[in-house]
Amino acid sequence: MAEIKCVDLCKTYQQGDAIIKALDHVTLQIEQGAFICLSGPSGSGKTTLLNMIGGLDALDSGEISIDGERVDLLEKGALADLRLHHIGFVFQSYNLIPVLSARENVEFVMQVQGVSAAERRNKSMAILEEVGLEGMEERRPSQLSGGQQQRVAVARAIVSQPKLVLADEPTANLDSVSAKHLMELFVELNQNHRVTFLISTHDERVMRYARRLVRMRDGKVVSDEVQISN
Amino acid sequence: MTALMRGMVDQMIEDGIDALPGYVQVHHPDYRDDPNIENSLSPPGPRLLEALGSPPAEAWARRVKVPAMVSSERNNRGVTLLGVDPQPEIALGFDPASIVAGRFLESPSDQGLVVGRKLLERLETDLGKRVVIMSQGPDNTIADRGFRIVGVFEGKLSAQEENLVYAAIGTTQELLGMDEQISEIAITGGDYRDVNVLHDQVKRAAGDRLEVLSWTELDTYLGLMLGVMDGFVLVWVIVIFLALSFGLVNTLMMAVFERVREFGLMQALGMKPASILYQVLLEAIMLLTLGLLLGNALAVMSILPIRDGIDLSVVAEGIEMMGASSMLYPALKAKDLLMANAVVIVLGILTSLLPAWRASRYRPVEAIAKT
């Protein structure tokens, strides 16, 4: 886990009378342990591609396989299992559960995985400290700033050490110091634990960490470059 | 509401059984068609005596019960003459406190007569005065005898006060020339709702030549009331809950719609649709349980202030027509409470299935996008 193959992906959305091609025959191969940034203007299809790979939405056509298993053919329960055990999500708009504290949000995935309460607590406290939220563990999302919420979302995504992290604009609400710290954390997980990262971003500073930069526009991949400066 | 209705029906049944009296009665097979002395039976033999002395039998009494005419110097009435053995009759259920004037019979050979208060009014006579009892003797002769009224009783039902006269069994047998013969044996014991054990025990001992009937057979109306009441409570609870279930579905649907994003997120993070369905169902069950706890507590609290009964004497006559007395005692039964709780839980879970199913069917990407 996690070699990803996307073949001829197509996805259209209807907005009123207009049909929008979110993905237009996208083909992409992501090797295990990759650190890839998807860049492109808004509406270029970055988020849609992440959602498709994570099985959050259904394709119109095309094939996605992770380690040889066709994700697009999995049913809902199997997709949920795949996400639970192998994929970590960082959403653009944090998507924390408002009634849970920061620690409980981080623990949520582990709880569904069946991890013991003590282990959950230890891991969640450690990861929250790592993302700079020490002392804020029991705060609700409404009591945290946008940047702090984003860090909770990141902590939730990586706490159970998934093989693949899909991050949608993870630094969008972070100051430059926090963003740098987060990206260094991603790099550390990628290099030491072979976690595959697929990050959509506008942020040039984030792109500099990527070993491979995929540019998208109007639902198409317009360039796919290997960066050697990482 | 159920407790009040149950209380009323229970009371109707208990009063009805008191009037019979007994949970089980033994008769000559033809007695109920023609209750004259020809259709009498011998005192119980050893086998029947053993059955009458064994649990669940608790009390029994020999009785002579025949139609008769009672005449005062001013009036006469058709009545039922009861020849009873006083002590066993009290053990069987006659309440000495119902004697409002004079005394009850004191021995099987007591020469007095105890009549109901209303009968006393109808006969336009009084305590201590003499009346004549006339009935059919052996060989279709007329048997009559003068009795002094030694006691006046107040019945739970006005019909009892008007129609029953009590005389000592020995005196009655002598009047009717019955020797030791009796009209019936009445037996109580155990729970009247589960009368079959007692009935079967007496039936086995009495043999096939005597008719042994339980109170549900002796008074089919009362037996039917018991069955109807059980069915009614179930229907009542279901109807009430079905009306309330719209509120429950609405509440749960609103709770689900308000949390669409949360459910989508849970799925995105790896929670299976089935787990979300279970979660919503679990929440519904917790809601129902909380409601039931509060509801049960309120039910008990609402019954407590009226546990000593509600006096309905202003409409006593109307109520007595149905066989109920003028004091209404609520009967909050564990069985009714459990059934209501079970109905609410089962129907509650059924009505929660739709919101729960809806919550589990959202597509994560669409649900997360909802604000």
Measured between alpha carbons, how far is B228 from B216 in angstroms, rounded to an integer? 13
Calpha distance A95→B268 (Å, rounded) = 10
Q: What residues of chain A lie within 8 A of the CB of B265, using their CB?
A: 95, 97
Mean pLDDT of B54-64: 84
Contact check, Cβ <8 Å, B364/A57 = yes
B273 and B128 assigned to the same domain: no
Determine, for residues B269 and A108 on separate chains, whether the beta-carbon distance falls below 8 Å.
yes
Beta carbons of B268 and A54 less than 8 Å apart: yes
Is B12 a domain residue? no
The stretch B195-202 carries a mean pLDDT of 80
Q: Say yes or no: B180 and B326 in one domain.
A: no
Question: Is B252 inside a domain boundary?
Answer: yes
To the nearest whole Å, the CA of B267 is away from the closest chain A CA by 6
**Closest of A156, A66, A149 to residue B269, by C-alpha:** A156
- Domain termination residue (choose one: B218, B252, B272): B218
pLDDT band (50, 70, 90) for residue A131: confident
pTM: 0.60
By C-alpha distance, the chain A residue nearest B364 is: A56
- Mind listing the pLDDT tens digit for each residue in A164-216? 999 998 888 778 888 888 888 889 888 888 889 999 998 888 899 999 999 99
The per-residue pLDDT of chain B, averaged, comes to 82
Cα–Cα distance measured from residue B189 to residue B201, given in angstroms and rounded to the nearest whole number: 11
Q: What pLDDT score does B110 carry?
A: 87
pLDDT at A27: 94
B325: confidence class by pLDDT, cuts 50, 70, 90 = low
B189 and B298 assigned to the same domain: no
Task: Give A95's contacts in chain B (Cβ within 8 Å).
Answer: 261, 265, 268, 368
Evaluate whether residue B179 is within a structural domain. yes
Same domain, B261 and B185: no
Q: Please state the φ and ψ torsions of residue A215, each to the nearest 5 degrees.
A: -100, 135
Percent of chain B at pLDDT exceeding 70: 95
Same domain, B174 and B248: no
Same domain, B193 and B289: no
Q: Are B277 and B359 in contact (CB under 8 A)?
A: yes
In a domain, B8, yes or no: no
B138 and B258 together in one domain: no
Selection from B69, B30, B67, B37 nearest residue B137 by Cα? B37
Task: Clarify whether residues B211 and B242 are in a common domain.
Answer: no
The structural domain count of chain B equals 2
CA angle A7, A11, A14 (to 5 degrees): 175
User: A87 falls in which pLDDT band (50, 70, 90)?
Assistant: very high
Q: Which of A14-18, A44-48, B42-46 has the highest mean pLDDT?
A: A44-48
* B117 and B212 inside one domain: yes
Q: Is residue B63 part of a domain?
A: yes
Residue B359 belongs to some domain of the structure: yes
Partners of A89 on chain B (C-beta within 8 Å) are 268-269
Closest CA to A149 of A131, A167, A164: A131
Residues B348 and B259 in one domain: yes
The CATH homologous superfamily for domain A4-226 is: P-loop containing nucleotide triphosphate hydrolases (3.40.50.300)
Q: Which segment, A78-82, B234-238, B341-345, is predicted with the most confidence on average?
A: A78-82
> Domain ends where: B184, B218, B252?
B218
A81 contacts B273? CB cut-off 8 A:
no
pLDDT, tens digit, 9 for 90 and up, residues B80-133: 888 888 888 888 788 888 888 888 888 888 899 999 988 888 888 888 888 998
- Residue B353: give the domain boundaries: 230-369
A1 has pLDDT over 60: no
B6 in a domain, yes or no? Answer: no
pLDDT tens for A21-43 read 999 999 999 999 999 999 999 88
Spell out which residues of chain B touch residue A91, defining contact as CB-CB under 8 Å.
Answer: 268, 368
Q: Residues of A with CB below 8 A from B370's CB? A: none
Instruction: Examine the fold and report which residue of B186, B218, B250 is the final residue of a domain before the chain moves on.
Output: B218
CA distance A54 to chain B (A): 8
What's residue A36's pLDDT? Answer: 95
Nearest to B106 by CA among B91, B92, B85, B126: B85
Interchain contact, B269 vs A112, CB within 8 Å: yes
Polymer length of chain B = 371
Same domain, residue pair B296 and B187: no
- Mean pLDDT confidence for B203-228: 78
Interface test with B, best of A76, A87, A140 (most B CBs within 10 A): A76
Q: What is the mean pLDDT of residues A134-158?
A: 90
Preferred mutation among B259, B263, B269, B276 to probe A, highest tally of A CBs within 10 A? B269
CB contact under 8 A, B363 and A80: no
Counted across chains A and B, CB pairs separated by less than 8 A come out at 56
ipTM confidence score: 0.88
Closest to A78 (Cα-Cα) out of B367, B275, B278, B270: B270
Closest CA to A56 of A89, A8, A94: A89
Residues B196 and B66 occupy one common structural domain: yes
Residue A74 has pLDDT above 70, yes or no: yes
Euclidean distance between CA atoms B155 and B95, whole angstroms? 9
Interface contact flag, A80 B273, Cβ < 8 Å: yes
Contact B270 A76 (CB under 8 A): no
